[in-house]
Chain A
């Protein structure tokens, strides 16, 4: 009889009983509705133990990879601990280097704290000691890199970005929680075409996902569209071109809304460009990152071009001014 641990209490689950029913029998009412795997209301996370595959049908694959499952379909076969979120320890990491990628984006590289693991494309919550000011930043590095890389955009009047730009120096210690997020590469189908699209520092997770996919031997085509209003807002162009030269399956298209177009680039609205270039997108997996209006526009266009809803992964960034 499997034991289910939830919020520090143990509950016994009978043979063939669903986790939802079992907890309800003990007086623990998880939010639920259809009890048949349709509505996703009872989405729950396995913090320990593995949910049966049947309990993950219909759950987005990047969520399933993090242990999310449907309590109404889950007939536990082993002891499990469940919860809504895993609680991250607070990590401390020394800043190794700090350099400008363009006029308004700075790259921070932090040492990897002992015990910290992540998937490229996830984000961390950087916290300033003293006032606990916290902001989320995506990881642009991959787990085999000897550092954690963040791309910080200077936000007008933004307290965190101003502090990171002006006051923090190599050698300083920064603290953070995490990782979190479901925008990351999945190694389940190495031949599947991938669309990466985003604007501004939305490149950070995309760069991580791209390098992760290449490092894991992804053979299918990968096309990255990185947009900015104008060329000076783009960054890492040389690195990305070098990656495209070294990997035939990877193509890079820098995009600008107006002004001079960089070599190999395009002018236009990033929301329209991927479909304009690639045409029908059935079978693709898409990763879309950046400002919410751009991400939402890209999601809609990608979906209408044929990408299944569950294969669209997005990370809308919200920039917080003072």
Chain B
């Protein structure tokens, strides 16, 4: 079976998804403080890599990078509640793009599997 990544339409679709997803994240006052002062181009690149990974596209995901990349945010108070917000934005982004519910569930479960790495547990 082809991946959600392929079913969505590959790289161009992920590009479009990043725009929607990142807008939701930046519009969320509960998590915005973790994104202040970051370079938007680099951040969009990371989100693209993340969305590519969770949709089963080509990636070089390492839990180690995820852990190190978020460690400074944990010092700022990053916890499960923020992670849940991001998952929620991911879910609604995919829904907005018309992705079928069973595929959304698959993607969310992959994203869920990064929780321990992101929160350094």
List residues 115-135 of chain A with CB under 8 A from any CB of chain B.
none
Distance of B27 from chain A, by nearest CB (Å)? 6
Q: Is B82 an interface residue (CB 8 A)?
A: no
- B4 at the binding interface (Cβ < 8 Å): no
Give A105 to B41 CA distance when docked, in angstroms. 30
CB of B26 within 8 A of CB of A300, answer yes
Per a CB cutoff under 8 Å, which of B23, B37, B40, B52 touches A39?
A: B52
- The B1-52 residues at the A interface (CB cut-off 8 A) are 11-12, 14-15, 18-19, 22-23, 26-27, 37, 40-41, 44-45, 48-49, 52
Q: List 27 A-B contacts (CB under 8 A).
A: A33-B49, A34-B49, A34-B57, A34-B58, A34-B59, A34-B60, A36-B11, A36-B58, A37-B11, A38-B14, A38-B48, A38-B52, A38-B57, A38-B59, A57-B11, A58-B12, A296-B37, A300-B26, A303-B19, A303-B22, A303-B23, A303-B26, A303-B40, A304-B23, A304-B26, A308-B19, A309-B18
Q: How far is B26's CA from A292's CA once the two chains are assembled, in angstroms?
A: 19
What A residues does B58 contact at CB under 8 A? 34-36, 38
Q: Which of A38, A57, A300 contacts B49 (CB 8 A)?
A: A38
A296 touches B11 (CB 8 A): no
Interface pair B40/A296, CB less than 8 Å apart: yes
* A35 / chain B contacts, CB cutoff of 8 Å: 58
Encoded as 1 (CB less than 8 Å from any B CB) or 0, chain A from 281 to 322 comes to: 000000000000000100110011000111010000000000
Given contacts A34-B49, A39-B49, A304-B23, contact A58 B60 (CB under 8 A): no
- Closest residue of chain A to B45 (Cβ to Cβ) is A40
Contact B15 A39 (CB under 8 A): no
Are B40 and A38 in contact (CB-based, < 8 A)?
A: no
In the complex, residue of chain A having the shortest beta-carbon distance to the beta carbon of B60: A33
Known contacts A37-B11, A39-B45, A57-B12, A309 near B52 by CB under 8 Å: no
Of all chain B residues, which has the CB nearest A299?
B40
Residues of A within 8 A of B (CB): 33-40, 57-58, 296, 299-300, 303-304, 308-310, 312
The count of A-to-B residue pairs whose CB atoms sit within 8 angstroms is 58
In the complex the two chains form, what is the Cα distance from A309 to B46 in whole Å? 13
Q: In the complex, A57→B10 CA distance in Å?
A: 11
Interface centre among B11, B14, B18 (most CB of A within 10 A): B11
CA of A312 to CA of B12, assembled, Å: 17
Distance of A312 Cα from B39 Cα, bound (Å): 13
Q: Quote the shortest CB–CB distance from A288 to chain B (angstroms).
A: 11
The chain B residue with its CB closest to the CB of A34 is B58
Q: How far is the CB of A317 from chain B (nearest CB, A)?
A: 16
Q: How far is the CB of A63 from chain B (nearest CB, A)?
A: 11
Q: What's the Cα separation between A309 and B49 when bound, in Å?
A: 15
In the bound complex, residues from chain A placing their C-beta under 8 Å from that of B59 are: 33-34, 38-39
Tell me the complex Cα distance, A24–B99, Å: 37
- Complex formed: what's the CA distance from A58 to B12 in Å? 7
Neighbouring A residues of B48 by C-beta, 8 Å: 38-40
User: Once bound together, how far apart are the Cα atoms of A261 and B105, in whole Å?
Assistant: 54
B45 contacts which chain A residues (CB < 8 A)?
39-40
Check if B52 sits within 8 Å of A58, measured CB to CB.
no
The listed residue (B18, B27, B40, B52) touching A34 by CB distance below 8 A is B52
- Residue of B with least CB distance to A312: B40
Verify B57–A309 contact, CB threshold 8 A.
no
